Structure 1
Amino acid sequence: MSKLFGSSPAKTGGSVDTLIGRQTEILGDVRFAGGLHIDGKIKGKVDSSGDKNSSLSVSESGCIEGDVRVPNIVLNGQVVGDVHAAGKITLAARARVVGNVYYRILEMEGGAAVNGQLVHETGDGHATPALQNSGDDNTDELREARRLKGL
């Protein structure tokens, strides 16, 4: 089955139970268990229904317009919305995220882009933005990060 989708199970995080094809557009939320591969477009939330072993892979032709909550994600397409990965997220070279990325383990290839915050979440429920104070108080990014954090 992995040859059909052009990637190995090791890259997608597991087997693919559901495929959304390139010519398919779904309007509405998607809940799934197991493995989901997206070559098409979803306009709605994508949620793995509490299955801690679920995985999502989005090819470079895939697009999601809505929040994503899946433990394991391999993204090479586009997401417009916040992404929550309780396990591991891999942002491949053509990945584009317009929104915040909440992660435990992050792998990011050169060329991937996130227009939002990278927020590391620990197992105890705490989250820390990846942007930290480097001692230079004059950058717009640091001022904006402090404003958002209430500092």
Structure 2
Amino acid sequence: MWFSSKKAQPPIRSLVGEGTRLQGELRFRDGLRIDGEVQGDVVADNEAGSLLVISEKARVHGKVKAGHVIINGEVVGPVEALELLELQPKARIVGDVRYELLEMHPGALIEGELRPLKSPDRPALKLAASNNA
């Protein structure tokens, strides 16, 4: 089976709903979805096994750090994804971005430095498809 080594996503246990505005640091475990606005840092306590979803309607003004980060809204501040960073078509980031693996869709915008996290046991770049069998 394709992608059989892919591990299961952590459950989303917390939600910042649309129309909600939070001010201050937001820490979470497992999974968090943001549909509202956060003025402050959003950081996973268990960074290596966490999932953060910043929806199309969401705005975050502060540092973002988690294992798997999916962005389709706006982030003003640095972003760090320790496992995978997915930038959906409406993603807008103003700040430096660090990632282990990156998936970027057409339309996503980054105004800042884009740098991979260097891991000694993994290559910095892995191609999804190759002509060599």
TM range (shorter): 0.7 to 0.9
- TM-score (normalizing by structure 2): 0.81
Q: Is residue 16 of structure 1 aligned with residue 27 of structure 2?
A: no
Distance (Å, rounded) in 1 between the aligned partners of 2:76 and 2:97: 11
**1:35 aligned partner:** 31
Please say if 1:49 is aligned against 2:45.
yes
Q: 1:73 aligns with which of 57, 69, 73?
A: 69
**Where does structure 1 differ by over 6 angstroms across 4 or more consecutive aligned residues?**
none
Map 1:123-138 → 2, pairs under 5 A: 123-124=119-120
2:19 & 2:84 partners in 1: Cα distance? 28
Aligned-partner Cα distance in 2 for 1:20–1:71? 19
% same residue: 35
| Letter of the structure 2 residue corresponding to residue 65 of structure 1 | H
- What are the Cα deviations for residues 47-92 of structure 1, in whole angstroms up to 9, with x where unaligned? 1013411110011000100011111101000000000111000000
Higher relative contact order (CA 8 A, sep 6+): 2
Which of 101, 108, 119 is the matching residue for 2:104? 108
Choose the corresponding residue for 1:62, options 42, 58, 68.
58
**Corresponding residue for residue 6 of structure 2:** none
Q: What is the TM-score with the length of structure 1 in the denominator?
A: 0.72
User: What amino acid maps onto 2:110 in structure 1?
Assistant: V
Find the residue that maps to 2:12 and give its secondary structure. coil
Aligned residue in 2 for 1:4: none
The size of the alignment, in residue pairs, is 113
5+ residue gaps, structure 1, are: 1-12, 129-151
Q: Which runs of 5+ in 2 are unaligned?
A: 1-8, 125-133
Per-residue displacement from partner, 1:3-41 (whole Å, max 9, x unpaired)? xxxxxxxxxx54210011001000000000010000000
Higher strand share: 2
- Name the CA distance, whole Å, in 2 between partners of 1:44 and 1:97: 15
Distance 1:14 1:25 in 2: 25
Matched, 1:85 2:65: no
Post-superposition Cα deviations, 1:70-127, rounded to whole Å, max 9, x if no partner, equal 1110100000000011100000000000001100100000000000011011124xxx
Tell me the distance in 1 between the aligned counterparts of 2:18 and 2:52: 15
